[in-house]
Structure 1
Amino acid sequence: MTSPYIVRGKKIVTVSSRGTIENGAMRIENGKVADIGTWERLRKESSDVHVMDYSNYVITPSLVDCHTHLLEYAPTSLYPVTIETHFWAAKAILFHALSSGITALGEQICGHPVCDIPIEAYRKAVLDLPIDISFATASISIGFEKMAHFTSITQSSSVDKTSLNDLELVRMIAEESDYPGENIFINATPANFKENDVPKAGEMIYTLEVLKQIVKTYHKLDKKIGAHVAGEVGIDRALEAGVDVLHHAHGITDELLVKAVQKGVEIVATPMGGTHLKPNSPEEILKMIQLNIPVSISTDAYLPPYKGTSWLPFQNQELRGPDVLMLIAQPAMQLLKRYNYDENEILALLTANPATILGKGNRYGRLEKGLEANFLVSEGIPGLEITQIEKVKKVFFQGRKVIERT
């Protein structure tokens, strides 16, 4: 336990009903926010408490990336790892995420052809790290010429397509899942392979009737289900089946957006890519928010940026990681600002909304009394005003300073 202390900022963007507090301060005790308000008040009421003066900087909740593939697919894609060194690379990747201002992740475990690693090993590997990770267990279909199917339960052993309909296997996957991530792939994915390697990316995997049975299996366990989905047919099928969270939803139409509202779904937008279709544009994200659909922005990292998008600044298809979360979110965030959305509502796309997707909105994602002291000290509001990780000067996780830049 650390001693109580106060942090002071030029302003605190709370992403709560308090809004932005100019010349604000927070009292931190036992890893949580014990009080929050103006510097003037907290200084008077806690005159004997140590002060960390960041009055030249902005304080915000730390970032939450609720759709990533950092532990399973990224190490083998980025480094010459073996099974013995896989988690060395994974922990380096997690540190990079932490240094980018991200203190919570929604990680997908799908099964991987060269990673015969059970979900328990992933959970154990991150237990002592200063980052909160929720795991979505899944089955995955990769759009190679000869389609490849894997599951988090069968690990590196491929399965045939009919096995994906096995409700006993579905139940086993669902029982291990922490949150509605990419639990099923309604369309075959390109994953992070080059376009020529995955000619069947986008192919439909499930019928509506099978999807309904899978959704029912999750709901019987009192769990929500999320799906990788893109294209009108796939999105409509997901909505009809009762999927709770649409991941990507690339190619969603205005009519389907209205249907999403009626069904009460949440959407995890991925402006960098992740499916066979053009990713979510700033204008599309704006439409979702105007319809009051809960939206989170995520990286789906590690991922090659989709070619031919006007809102992405990338010049090549190198795999991009969690360090680009602010960069890929900025076009949508700045568009919302032009439409007069408040900075707290805008920052929720990277903080409170994804924390809610993870089922942890009562723990972090906002700065208010009683919540975990997960926060950033930055040169501006992440995503909206800054995109370079070097401008995130301090990262705090449960009250502990875990990243510091001068």
Structure 2
Amino acid sequence: MMKYMIRGKKLVTVSQLGTLKDGAMVIENGKVAAIGSWEQLKEDYPDSDVIDCSSFVITPSLVDCHTHLLEFAPTSLYPVTPETHFLAGKALLLHALSSGITALGEQICGHPLCDFSKEDYQKAVHDLPLDITFATTSISIGFENLAHFTSITQSRGVTQCDLSDPVLVQMIALESDYPGENIFINATPANFTEKEVPRAGEIIYTLEELQKIVNIYHRLGKRMGAHVAGEEGIKLALESGIDVLHHAHGITDEQIQKAAKQGINIVATPMGGTHLQPNSPEEILNFVEKDIPVSIATDSYLPPYLGTSWLPFQDQALKGPDVLMMIAQPAMRLLKKHHYDENKILSLLTDNPAKLLGKDDVFGRLEVGLEANFLVAEGVPGLEITEIDKIRKVYYKGVKVMERN
């Protein structure tokens, strides 16, 4: 039985407890057993081993709920073969872990070079100190000749008509763990350059097709997410009853209000991911002000969109989870300027994405009964720090899995 107490300068719990200055947690068997002030807990647990981090901030670990680390990224970053594909994937996951991320939402789309099933991906990562939730999807890539793939057909391309086939859609829906990019309403640039994907942004589905697909998911008791951007595509998503908008780049104020009324979630990707300018800090503030549950994600590995005022990138080299805090900071600071509490702000990287993954009863907050997935850092991630070397320790289920001196 593993039991210890950890003390911090402050604990940003992202729970009803808010921020606890000079706080502490008791960790037992991988979960938070008690949380409160240091003065109180040292009295209540006088014999507990203490890890003194009283110079640092303790927060929940980060959740990147929209990534492509295991399918698209390895072949884009490394000259892998099928035999070495998952070695590259594990290296990318280790880098995510060192960036303070202990939970991921992965998309399995189908890929011409990856003849792997969802089970292959799950088996490859089952022993890693990470919680990975998989969305099974279909995808349309905006090459001159549109390319369509699905998680079920793997490396074998399909036709545009196949994307709406009810048998195939049901197979995809049954395997999906959460409402990720289950369909791509617009053809995606993926992580290709603009010249390679001239048809990125083209709308793939009719409203009738979308409604039939949404009905299949809902009939199975599943929520459904979509890759979507642009006023026309977002209109289709809203009218068809899709539950989660991934990206929603180019959304109008009227559409934001409609999304709020319909109880839709938004996964904001300030680095890019579609054919349009990504979510600005002001747009993310607007989502929060309308009480839309919003998560910030990287969609990595991805070439950053150049020409925004809030991103520091100078080239389109592919970026990964290590920039999550950096791309989130402009929006997080704007929320702070508008007097939002640091717990509410940090929820965009912790509790909100955990809820999207259907795992908010497991992690995402520092709360009794939840897994002890937390960070020891020099400041609040995203809000006060962006460099990963300022994350000193990463804990997963109470075990220290990363440490920097």
TM-score under structure 2 length normalisation: 1.00
What is the CA distance between 1:134 and its match in structure 2?
0.1
- Quote the residue 2:107 is aligned against: 108
1:404 and 1:357 map into 2 onto residues whose CA distance is 28
- Quote the residue 1:139 is aligned against: 138
The residue type equivalent to 1:306 in the other structure is Y
- Quote the residue 1:332 is aligned against: 331
1:58 and 1:68 map into 2 onto residues whose CA distance is 27
1:391 and 1:129 map into 2 onto residues whose CA distance is 23
The residue type equivalent to 1:271 in the other structure is P
SS, match of residue 97 in structure 2: helix
SS, match of residue 323 in structure 1: helix
- Quote the residue 2:345 is aligned against: 346
The residue type equivalent to 2:379 in the other structure is G
Cα deviation code 1:149-201 (max 9, x no counterpart):
00000000000100001011000000110000000000000000000000000
What is the CA distance between 1:126 and its match in structure 2?
1.0
Cα deviation code 1:256-312 (max 9, x no counterpart):
001101111000000000000000000000001000000000000000000211100
- Quote the residue 2:58 is aligned against: 59
2:307 and 2:167 map into 1 onto residues whose CA distance is 42
Aligned 8 A contact 2:134 2:177 in 1? yes
2:377 and 2:326 map into 1 onto residues whose CA distance is 15
1:63 and 1:161 map into 2 onto residues whose CA distance is 36
Unaligned runs of 5+ in 1: none
Aligned 8 A contact 2:306 2:314 in 1? no
2:378 and 2:260 map into 1 onto residues whose CA distance is 36
- Quote the residue 1:210 is aligned against: 209
- 1:111-122 correspondence to structure 2 within 5 Å: 111-122=110-121
Aligned 8 A contact 2:179 2:356 in 1? yes
1:274 and 1:382 map into 2 onto residues whose CA distance is 23
SS, match of residue 394 in structure 2: strand
Cα deviation code 1:330-379 (max 9, x no counterpart):
00000000000000000000000000000001110000100000000000
- 1:210-249 correspondence to structure 2 within 5 Å: 210-249=209-248
- Quote the residue 1:355 is aligned against: 354
The answer to whether structure 1 residue 269 and structure 2 residue 268 are counterparts is yes
2:295 and 2:113 map into 1 onto residues whose CA distance is 31
- Quote the residue 2:399 is aligned against: 400
- 1:2-401 correspondence to structure 2 within 5 Å: 3-401=2-400
What is the CA distance between 1:13 and its match in structure 2?
0.1
SS, match of residue 303 in structure 1: coil
1:50 and 1:367 map into 2 onto residues whose CA distance is 19
2:310 and 2:249 map into 1 onto residues whose CA distance is 15
2:113 and 2:47 map into 1 onto residues whose CA distance is 56
What is the CA distance between 1:382 and its match in structure 2?
0.1
1:128 and 1:23 map into 2 onto residues whose CA distance is 35
SS, match of residue 224 in structure 1: coil
Identity percentage of aligned residues: 70
Aligned 8 A contact 2:246 2:267 in 1? yes
2:340 and 2:16 map into 1 onto residues whose CA distance is 14
SS, match of residue 95 in structure 1: helix
Unaligned runs of 5+ in 2: none
Cα deviation code 1:123-163 (max 9, x no counterpart):
11111100000000000000000000000000000001000
SS, match of residue 124 in structure 1: helix
1:344 and 1:258 map into 2 onto residues whose CA distance is 24
SS, match of residue 200 in structure 2: coil
Displaced runs of 4+ in structure 1, greater than 6 A? none
2:166 and 2:92 map into 1 onto residues whose CA distance is 34
